């Protein structure tokens, strides 16, 4: 299989800045740019010139966050992978966990300082903001999901 094109590596780099590990990002990019429906672990390893161990690790990470799916491979022992529909929305939902953590960290702080101190008011603003996001982001994503099929 051919090496990855330049735009693919570029996209992998961007994904890295978005928080993904380097190899994880490259595997994702490979699956985005392939003209096949699915890829096997071996194909990914060859495309990116990386060890099968690295592929295994990356695939594991991507699977747990729902960015790729294992596809049952009839007639072959190898595992096939592909990006599921709506993978990006899934990724975004996952990042919502970070928002929740921020909200709770602020809450914790308030529990210590009290809400009527200087620090307490500062923390309250933080909590309110992330609380807002925590409520509104899922709405935003749902709206995307529901308007997509209608296009």
Residues in contact with its own copies by CB under 8 A are: 5-8, 10-11, 14-15, 17-19, 32-37, 83, 85, 88-89, 92, 98, 101-102, 104-106, 108-109, 111-113, 117-119, 122-123, 125-126, 128-130, 132-133, 136-137, 140, 144, 148
The length of the chain is 151
Closest contact distance (angstroms) between CB of 27 and DNA is 10
Partner interacting with residue 89 (select from DNA, its own copies, none; CB below 5-8 Å by kind): its own copies
- List residues binding DNA (CB under 7 A): 21-23, 40-42, 49-57, 59-60, 75, 77-79
Closest contact distance (angstroms) between CB of 59 and DNA is 6
Question: Quick one: 21 or 96, whose CB is closer to DNA?
Answer: 21
- For the chain, the C-alpha Rg in angstroms (whole number) is 20
Partner interacting with residue 23 (select from DNA, its own copies, none; CB below 5-8 Å by kind): DNA
Partner interacting with residue 124 (select from its own copies, DNA, none; CB below 5-8 Å by kind): none
Q: How far apart are CA 38 and CA 12, in angstroms?
A: 18
Listed residue (2, 1, 4, 21) closest to 13, CA to CA: 21
Instruction: Sort residue 85 into left (φ over 0), alpha (ψ -120 to 50) or beta.
Output: beta
> DSSP string of 53-117?
HHHHHHHHHHHHTTSSEEE--TT-SS-EEEPPTTHHHHHHHHHHHHHHHHHHHHHHHHHHH-TTS
Partner interacting with residue 146 (select from its own copies, DNA, none; CB below 5-8 Å by kind): none
Closest contact distance (angstroms) between CB of 53 and its own copies is 26
């Amino acid at each position: 299989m051919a090496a990855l094109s330049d735009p693919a590596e570029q996209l992998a780099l961007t994904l890295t800045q978005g928080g993904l590990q380097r190899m994880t990002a490259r595997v994702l990019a490979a699956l985005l740019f392939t003209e096949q429906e699915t890829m096997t672990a071996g194909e990914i390893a060859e495309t990116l010139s990386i060890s099968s161990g690295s592929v295994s690790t990356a695939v594991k990470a991507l699977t747990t966050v729902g960015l790729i799916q294992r596809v049952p491979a009839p007639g072959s022992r190898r595992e096939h992978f592909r990006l599921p529909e709506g993978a990006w929305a899934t990724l975004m939902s996952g990042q919502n966990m970070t928002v929740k953590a921020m909200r709770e960290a602020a809450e914790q702080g308030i529990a210590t300082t009290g809400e009527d101190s200087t620090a307490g008011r500062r923390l309250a603003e933080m909590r309110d903001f992330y609380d807002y996001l925590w409520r509104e982001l899922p709405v935003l994503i749902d709206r995307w999901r529901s308007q997509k099929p209608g296009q």
